[in-house]
Structure 1
């Protein structure tokens, strides 16, 4: 009996390693109003008053983004990480794809708000995912605040902006993938349109944050979200 139980445990742990999931995480699918389905992973307390939609970068929902989702889940958020590439035939950052991804983002924000316990909804994006978050934000997606980690506002949405929720802009000055100029232009746009924006640039960081900068970015994001929770 003990041997059978031990084998079951080994099988379970192996399955977790293959899937990349840990206890407390679930994989689900969300059907949009148009009938399309998007897979997503959920982290944290499903009854939390704080819901966070987390948008991965171009590499998809890889371990780094799962680690960030777990971090925010441990900080008391219900975290939804949509596999938004499911909604398009390709992954190129085209205007058509951005429009679809922004629409999917709005679907997940609406999913957050369906939960009766939800009091505040936030959006965080990384690289390409951050550009998707900014695109959705420019169309007045209904969130309390957005955290932009080394992304850029797509040109089409720059010229068709309807507004922007409170925005935290975090970027590395050595970024050669999405140059710091993109973040600086977004700061200028915030000033011109009198938007509620904060920013911080990391002099020693490239595309993506590491070490102390990663922890600092996490804490700045938590503080910003707490300030805009009501």
Structure 2
């Protein structure tokens, strides 16, 4: 639970300047399901082997607010963790998710979760095969991307840590879970897009599977609260996620 002291601390840190990261250090493609999909890599400094986090954007893509996503890359690379933003949507996905009703989109997503998780697995294989990889990798998901990250983490034991922002586990996958890595879920209590119970249920699934799992509710915060440029809880969320990965991905 976010306390008054936490909020005041967050307000103080928000007043500090947030440095601009600039362009990613590398752009490359992942081929999955016949589609060639873009990955942007933000590399941490140094020549030693490093852990990595693959980040999965929400349904509107990174382009809708790139700086909000880049703040996570800034924080993670500053702690020595390479960050990869996977643009997992194929052209057909973008059409389906922007031109249909809510019910139709949900049905489409349900059919696509397995394919999207396969794309994540292909990206994991690429990242772990790099000479600068320490062999430790985490997934970071936002909204729709968090459901994909959760399914991918449940299916792939190479994933060492999972962080979810305002999301959960695809319902079809929830009854099949035998494994989840350590995870943290952050969710606004005023979220009207994705019920907060989705996040709580993911944490419960993690605990049932024997994983360390933490749930962090944010009172009064709506969906995507951490994309705000002025809310002190933006810094709080980024710090929590970064510290979680630093602790779980250290070799």
**Same-fold call, TM cutoff 0.5:** yes
Match of 1:102 in 2: 117
Say which SS state the counterpart of residue 84 (structure 1) adopts: coil
In the aligned structure 2, how far is the partner of 1:203 from the partner of 1:154?
25
* 1:220 partnered with 2:240: yes
Say which SS state the counterpart of residue 225 (structure 2) adopts: coil
In structure 2, relative to structure 1, the CA distance for the partners of 1:184 and 1:24 (3 Å cut) is: closer
User: What runs of 5+ residues in structure 1 fail to find an aligned partner?
Assistant: 1-20
Runs of at least 4 residues of structure 1 off by over 6 A? Answer: none
* 1:56 partnered with 2:71: no
Between 1:191-200 and 1:63-72, the stretch displaced more is 63-72
- Contact conserved, 2:178 with 2:209, CA < 8 A, in 1? no
Match of 1:72 in 2: 76
Say which SS state the counterpart of residue 160 (structure 1) adopts: coil
Q: Which has the larger radius of gyration?
A: 1
Between 1:37-46 and 1:162-171, the stretch displaced more is 37-46
Question: Could you give the per-residue CA deviations for residues 59-88 of structure 1, whole angstroms, max 9, x where no partner exists?
Answer: 111213244334433432221111100275
* 1:30 partnered with 2:30: yes
Q: Which of the pair has the greater relative contact order for Cα pairs under 8 Å at 6+ separation?
A: 2
In structure 2, relative to structure 1, the CA distance for the partners of 1:37 and 1:187 (3 Å cut) is: same
In structure 2, relative to structure 1, the CA distance for the partners of 1:213 and 1:28 (3 Å cut) is: same
Say which SS state the counterpart of residue 228 (structure 1) adopts: helix
In the aligned structure 2, how far is the partner of 1:24 from the partner of 1:222?
18
In structure 2, relative to structure 1, the CA distance for the partners of 1:40 and 1:30 (3 Å cut) is: same
In structure 2, relative to structure 1, the CA distance for the partners of 1:105 and 1:156 (3 Å cut) is: same
Match of 2:195 in 1: 179
Match of 1:116 in 2: 131
Counterparts in 2 of 1:149-228, with a 5 A limit?
A: 149-210=165-226, 211-228=231-248
Match of 1:84 in 2: 88
In the aligned structure 2, how far is the partner of 1:111 from the partner of 1:87?
22
Say which SS state the counterpart of residue 122 (structure 1) adopts: strand
Superposed displacement of residue 135, structure 1: 1.1
In the aligned structure 2, how far is the partner of 1:174 from the partner of 1:37?
37
User: What runs of 5+ residues in structure 2 fail to find an aligned partner?
Assistant: 1-20, 98-104
Superposed displacement of residue 125, structure 1: 0.6
TM-score by length of 2: 0.75
Superposed displacement of residue 209, structure 1: 2.3
